[in-house]
Amino acid sequence: MNRIIITGVAGFLGSYLANELLEDGYQVVGVDNISTGNLNNINKLTRHHHFTFLETDISCDKLLNHPELIDIDGIYHLASPASPKWYQEAPFETISVNTIGTKNMLELANRNNAKLLFSSTSEIYGDPEVHPQSETYKGNVNTWGPRACYDESKRLGEVYCYLHHTLLGTKVTVARIFNTYAEGLQPNDGRVISNFIMQALKGEDLTVYGDGSQTRTFCYVVDTISGLRKMMESEETNGEIFNIGHPIEYTILEVAELVKRLTNSSSKIVFKDLLEDDPQVRCPDISKAMRMLNWKPQVELTEGLHRTIEEYKKQI
């Protein structure tokens, strides 16, 4: 496999993945509309002779006839706002990219006999009543709330993948990605790790929503990317869904305290009203990925945070 499309290439995960694939000798066609991404993430890549960049919206089907989008071996479909801050600002665009955009990329995969990896999310489990969540858990999602545009459009994206795979024979694999972090997250991205670190480094209050007892798990980017690559590269993953995330759970308050300690910050932790539909617990069961992909995260939270903090310090 050597010619790969990455949608969302100017985003956090897309740019990291593109770097790795180019280093490993792949040709990469990156597509992005620079809505939540940043051209700075791919500046260096655009000078690489195996990298082509198309600035366009993948929800528009005219893209399918683009002359660069031929002879494709694989598609990492990562385009979509991922932070609640961004998807709640652009809910209709979020629905389009995860549904129509996914349908377009499946069509492209089908024409090229290429495999598509769809980046779904742990959010499809909603506020889970089963804990930890395995891939067989069907979820507890609210259609009537501010997170629904993201959660439900990712669910419908999975349905498109299922239908293309079962009815048209398209090669697909679905990654349900749990919180991933690293220095590549834009400081203003609004996700919990970037928020806490920036607040701690600037001496501002660390904002915890609710009492901080809600839990999350945090996977360092290197581990998430290695999971996605194993999914793409293994034959056995065709038609399969995998949880990709770190299996060790922390309360949000524990994470705030850890960030404060690692940054030696004198910031205070302040509590604000819990956000609507904020899941109370979240933790992946990764036994399927361990068994079929021989994959599990290697970087522990303290180590990953340490690396992330050092890089953020250089940025401010």
Ligand X SMILES: NC(=O)c1ccc[n+]([C@@H]2O[C@H](COP(=O)([O-])OP(=O)(O)OC[C@H]3O[C@@H](n4cnc5c(N)ncnc54)[C@H](O)[C@@H]3O)[C@@H](O)[C@H]2O)c1
**Contact call for residue 304 and ligand X (CB under 6 A):** no
Taking the C-alpha atoms of residue 291 and residue 298, their distance in angstroms, rounded to an integer, is 16
Are the C-beta atoms of 102 and 141 separated by less than 8 Å?
no
Instruction: Tell me the two tokens of residue 142.
Output: 């609210």
Using the contact rule CB under 6 A, the part of the chain among 10-18, 160-168, 256-264, 291-299 near ligand X is 10-18
Select from 44, 40, 56, 41 the least CA-distant residue to 5.
56
**How far from chain centre, in Å, is Cα 294?**
20
**How far from chain centre, in Å, is Cα 173?**
15
Using the contact rule CB under 6 A, the part of the chain among 54-62, 131-139, 234-242, 249-257 near ligand X is 54-62
Taking the C-alpha atoms of residue 296 and residue 275, their distance in angstroms, rounded to an integer, is 31
Between residues 22 and 82, which has the closer beta carbon with respect to ligand X?
82
**Contact call for residue 12 and ligand X (CB under 6 A):** yes
Q: In whole angstroms, how close is the CB of 149 to ligand X at the nearest point? A: 12
**Contact call for residue 57 and ligand X (CB under 6 A):** yes
Pairing between β-strand 3-7 and β-strand 27-32 as defined by DSSP bridges: parallel
Using the contact rule CB under 6 A, the part of the chain among 53-61, 68-76, 137-145, 273-281 near ligand X is 53-61
Q: Which member of 33, 112, 194, 217 binds ligand X (CB under 6 A)?
A: 33
**Contact call for residue 119 and ligand X (CB under 6 A):** yes
Q: Which member of 32, 152, 158, 183 binds ligand X (CB under 6 A)?
A: 32
Buried b (16+ CB within 10 A) or exposed e, 30-39: bbbbebbbbe
Q: In whole angstroms, how close is the CB of 31 to ligand X at the nearest point? A: 6
Instruction: Tell me the two tokens of residue 82.
Output: 């991922």
Helices and strands of the chain, counted as H and E runs: 9, 13
**Contact call for residue 198 and ligand X (CB under 6 A):** no
**Contact call for residue 59 and ligand X (CB under 6 A):** yes
Site string for ligand X, 83-102 (x = CB under 6 A): --------------x---x-
**Contact call for residue 305 and ligand X (CB under 6 A):** no
Strands of 115-121's sheet, edge to edge? 51-55, 27-32, 3-7, 74-77, 115-121, 171-177, 240-244
Between residues 170 and 179, which has the closer beta carbon with respect to ligand X?
179
Helix 148-168 vs helix 91-112: angle between axes, to the nearest 10 degrees? 20
Q: In whole angstroms, how close is the CB of 210 to ligand X at the nearest point? A: 20
Between residues 271 and 288, which has the closer beta carbon with respect to ligand X?
288
Which are the catalytic amino acids?
150
**Contact call for residue 170 and ligand X (CB under 6 A):** no
Site string for ligand X, 214-233 (x = CB under 6 A): --------------------
Q: Which member of 11, 30, 128, 212 binds ligand X (CB under 6 A)?
A: 11
Residues in Cβ contact with 269 at an 8 Å cutoff, skipping those fewer than 6 apart: 205, 206, 208, 212, 253, 256, 257, 260
Size of the site for ligand X (CB under 6 A): 29
**Contact call for residue 81 and ligand X (CB under 6 A):** yes
Q: In whole angstroms, how close is the CB of 266 to ligand X at the nearest point? A: 29
Burial class (CB in 10 A: 0-12, 13-18, 19+), 263: buried
Give the footprint of ligand X on this chain (CB under 6 A).
7-8, 10-14, 31-37, 57-59, 78-82, 97, 101, 119, 121, 177, 179-180
